[in-house]
């Protein structure tokens, strides 16, 4: 990978923690990111991990910077290996400038890159002297914090806060462990370029630090969601967990059901009864929901479905990331009925789009998908406060009269939706084809009318379609197209390329496709799409619905997210010359 210079690295540092599952890597990550944010630094963290409860090798990358960062970098400035095999796991990311802080006896006799700078700190010995080797991770936190210039008292204060629920002796031992690690790193003869040199931004301290699952979950709450039922399936489970933790606080029923079939059917029943319901799952779980999806299509029932994508087919790589389910979501279900697919790229998108999904589903009486992926769900960074004045719960239920007809004809296909017990009318729905009152019919002319009515909503909802976001010069020659979670990595790659003839076009809503797509693409001399799948699924959507073929594609489907560096290198070879 390219060397982007030491001057930048003092303003932006990449720290990698690597160890076995169950070893406490996430605790170190949690402590470090919160400490750094409270110290006034921008932070971003993402993880890659194996599908096992213990063992293996998992790593977390933390970026700390003087500016907002939300993209993964291949570069590794500091490595903290916490177990045997950790160095080998991330060796492909090591450079002559990488500093390794760790225990030689734990790492073992591994062959590091000859130019790697290794500094031996016996975390375990220091922790044992304090009282228990279990404190070794907190010792490591103290060592890293020293390199990043955070004040010792700030470190100890936050460690005490973090362990406040423990016995006082445990709290103080952890504070001592953090201080010991801090001083141990200070005693090392570390090169000057290792230490971060940036001024703290006091505004960062009060900002939110969220991950994707929390953004989606908070969006559901803001959307008036009051019923969630799902079967746990990574990487979507954290959304279910978050809503379960806050369900009682917001008057929400959260149900873990026996399987995904039950989840979808219960959610349909909840909407019928007047609730605002959501299911959250991954591709394999959604496969079981597809029959229920068609039921929602026939009933013209609102539905919100969050899908956290992971590599398939079948179980695939259950803890990795991919943008491989777009075509599945677009084509799922037997029969023809409209749907909406939202693909958040930023944490703000996750909040606002999920909130919007409930209003769209309620108004148009269609399934609305919020399509994320493992990288999006598990990554977090600091953002300013969310603007609640931008959100409102919009309900479209009517009070029924005695002559109420659930599927009354309407030019835009949107019949008035009643719910049982609200008014004098009878609310009849049926999975068979039906007449305007909701009763089964085999009248073939009426069948055509009902199909046309349902599809008419597809044209009506185009009024709500969010246009793609153009980032960069308006007089571009090169246009890089992306969707969903690739927003930040493509944006930063283009910033590094610093070309005034190249722009990014990001889609946070991929279906229905916004009509401006044609004009954006026709303006470019060369188009490149960036997707986390093997076949260019969104490129196919553009070709089918806009009639334009994308010139080139950068695709990744090994289960890992794009790095900024690989996109810089890839785009250099595809863009029109300056």
Residues 6+ positions from 476 with CB-CB distance below 8 Å: 501, 502, 503, 523, 524
Q: What share of the chain is helix, strand, coil (3-state, %, to 5)?
A: 40, 20, 40
Lowest mean pLDDT among 87-96, 405-414, 539-548: 87-96
Q: Please give the share of the chain, as a percent, with pLDDT higher than 70.
A: 96
Q: Please give the share of the chain, as a percent, with pLDDT higher than 90.
A: 81
Region 454-460 average pLDDT = 89
Look at residue 551 in the predicted model and tell me its pLDDT: 98
Coil vs helix vs strand at 347: helix
The backbone region for 293, taken as left when phi is positive above 0, alpha when psi lies in -120 to 50, beta otherwise, is: alpha
Residues 6+ positions from 109 with CB-CB distance below 8 Å: none
Q: Reply yes or no on whether the pLDDT at 5 is more than 70.
A: no
Enumerate the domain spans of the chain. Answer: 6-206, 209-390, 469-572
Region 62-77 average pLDDT = 95
Look at residue 96 in the predicted model and tell me its pLDDT: 83
Q: Identify the CATH class of 209-390.
A: alpha beta
Region 127-150 average pLDDT = 91
| Nearest-angstrom CA–CA distance, 429 and 362 | 16
| CATH number assigned to the domain with residue range 469-572, chosen from the 4 options 3.40.50.920, 3.30.565.40, 3.20.20.140, 3.10.270.10 | 3.40.50.920
Q: Domain 6-206 falls in which CATH fold?
A: Pyruvate-ferredoxin Oxidoreductase; domain 3 (3.40.920)
Q: With residue 220 as reference, give the H or E element that holds it.
A: helix 212-222
| Nearest-angstrom CA–CA distance, 284 and 491 | 31
In the DSSP assignment, the letter for residue 440 is B
Look at residue 147 in the predicted model and tell me its pLDDT: 85
Beta bridge partners of 55: 21
Per the CB < 8 A criterion, the answer to whether 40 and 201 are in contact is yes
Residue 319, both tokens = 């803890």
| Nearest-angstrom CA–CA distance, 193 and 262 | 56
Q: With residue 211 as reference, give the H or E element that holds it.
A: strand 208-211
| Nearest-angstrom CA–CA distance, 483 and 309 | 13
Lowest mean pLDDT among 38-42, 328-332, 439-443, 545-549: 38-42
Looking at per-residue pLDDT, the higher value among 33 and 27 belongs to: 33
CA-wise closest residue to 317 among 265, 273, 282: 282
Neighbouring CB atoms inside 10 A of 478's CB total: 23
Residues 6+ positions from 417 with CB-CB distance below 8 Å: 300, 302, 365, 396, 397, 398, 406
Looking at per-residue pLDDT, the higher value among 180 and 461 belongs to: 180
| Nearest-angstrom CA–CA distance, 490 and 346 | 12
Looking at per-residue pLDDT, the higher value among 134 and 493 belongs to: 493
Q: Reply yes or no on whether the pLDDT at 2 is more than 70.
A: no
Q: Reply yes or no on whether the pLDDT at 1 is more than 50.
A: no
Same fold, 209-390 and 469-572: yes
pLDDT tens across 245-283, in order?
999 999 999 999 999 999 999 999 999 999 999 999 999
In the DSSP assignment, the letter for residue 540 is H
Q: Could you tell me the pLDDT band of residue 95, with boundaries at 50, 70 and 90?
A: confident
Residue 203, both tokens = 């505004």
Q: Could you tell me the pLDDT band of residue 461, with boundaries at 50, 70 and 90?
A: confident
Look at residue 4 in the predicted model and tell me its pLDDT: 35
- Tell me the pTM: 0.95
The sign one gets for the Cα dihedral 381, 382, 387, 393 is positive
Look at residue 113 in the predicted model and tell me its pLDDT: 54
φ and ψ of 471, to 5 deg: -120, 120
Q: Reply yes or no on whether the pLDDT at 353 is more than 60.
A: yes
pLDDT tens across 189-246, in order?
777 777 766 777 889 999 999 999 999 999 999 999 999 999 999 999 999 999 999 9
Looking at per-residue pLDDT, the higher value among 40 and 4 belongs to: 40
CA-wise closest residue to 1 among 416, 576, 570, 573: 570
Mean per-residue pLDDT of the chain: 93
Region 42-61 average pLDDT = 88
């Amino acid at each position: 990978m390219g060397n982007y210079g030491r001057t930048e690295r003092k303003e932006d540092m990449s720290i990698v923690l690597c160890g076995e599952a169950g070893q406490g890597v996430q605790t170190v990550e949690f402590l470090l990111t919160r400490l750094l944010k409270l110290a006034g630094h921008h932070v971003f963290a993402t993880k890659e991990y194996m599908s096992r409860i213990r063992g293996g090798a998992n790593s977390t990358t933390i970026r700390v910077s003087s500016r907002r960062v939300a993209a993964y970098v291949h570069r590794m400035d500091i490595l903290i290996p916490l177990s045997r095999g950790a160095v080998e796991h991330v060796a492909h990311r090591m450079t002559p400038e990488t500093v390794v802080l760790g225990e030689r006896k734990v790492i073992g006799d591994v062959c590091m890159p000859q130019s790697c700078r290794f500094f031996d700190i016996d975390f375990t010995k220091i922790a044992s002297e304090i009282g228990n080797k279990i404190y070794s991770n907190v010792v490591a936190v103290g060592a890293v914090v020293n390199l990043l210039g955070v004040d010792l008292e700030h470190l100890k204060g936050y460690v005490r806060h973090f362990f406040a629920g423990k016995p006082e002796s445990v709290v103080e031992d952890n504070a001592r462990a953090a201080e010991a690690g801090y001083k141990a790193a200070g005693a090392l003869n570390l090169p000057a370029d290792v230490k971060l040199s940036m001024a703290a931004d006091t505004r960062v301290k009060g900002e939110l630090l969220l991950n994707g699952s929390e953004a989606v979950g908070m969006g559901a709450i803001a959307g008036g969601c009051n019923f969630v039922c799902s079967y746990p399936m990574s990487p979507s489970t954290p959304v279910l967990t978050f809503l379960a933790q806050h369900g009682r606080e917001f008057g929400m029923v959260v149900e873990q059901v026996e399987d995904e079939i039950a989840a979808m059917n219960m959610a349909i029943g909840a909407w019928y009864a007047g609730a605002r319901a959501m299911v959250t799952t991954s591709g394999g779980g959604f496969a079981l929901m597809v029959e229920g999806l068609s039921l929602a299509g026939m009933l013209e029932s609102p539905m919100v479905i969050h899908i956290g994508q992971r590599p398939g087919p079948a179980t695939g790589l259950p803890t990795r990331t991919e943008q491989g389910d777009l075509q599945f979501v677009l084509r799922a279900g037997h029969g023809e009925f409209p749907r909406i697919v939202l693909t958040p790229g930023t944490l703000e998108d996750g909040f606002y789009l999920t909130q919007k999904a409930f209003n769209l589903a309620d108004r148009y009486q269609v399934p609305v998908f919020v399509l994320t992926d493992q990288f999006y769900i598990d990554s977090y960074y600091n953002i300013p406060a969310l603007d609640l004045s931008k959100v409102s719960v919009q309900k479209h239920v009517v009070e029924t009269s005695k002559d109420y007809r659930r599927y009354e004809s309407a030019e835009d296909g949107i019949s008035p939706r009643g719910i049982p017990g609200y008014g004098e009318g009878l609310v009849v729905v049926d999975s068979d084809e039906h007449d305007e009152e909701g009763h089964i019919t085999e009248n073939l002319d009426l069948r055509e009318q009902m199909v046309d009515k349902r599809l008419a909503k597809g044209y009506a909802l185009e009024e709500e379609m969010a246009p793609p976001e153009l980032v960069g010069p308006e007089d571009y020659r090169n246009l890089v197209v992306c969707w969903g979670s690739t927003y930040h990595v493509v944006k930063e790659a283009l910033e590094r390329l610093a070309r005034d003839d190249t722009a990014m076009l990001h889609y946070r809503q991929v279906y229905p496709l916004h009509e401006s797509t044609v004009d954006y693409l026709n303006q470019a001399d060369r188009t490149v799409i960036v997707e986390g799948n093997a076949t260019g699924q969104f490129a196919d959507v553009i070709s089918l619905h806009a009639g334009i073929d994308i010139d080139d594609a950068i695709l990744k489907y090994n289960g890992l997210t794009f790095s900024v560096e690989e996109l810089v290198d890839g785009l250099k070879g595809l863009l029109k010359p300056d």
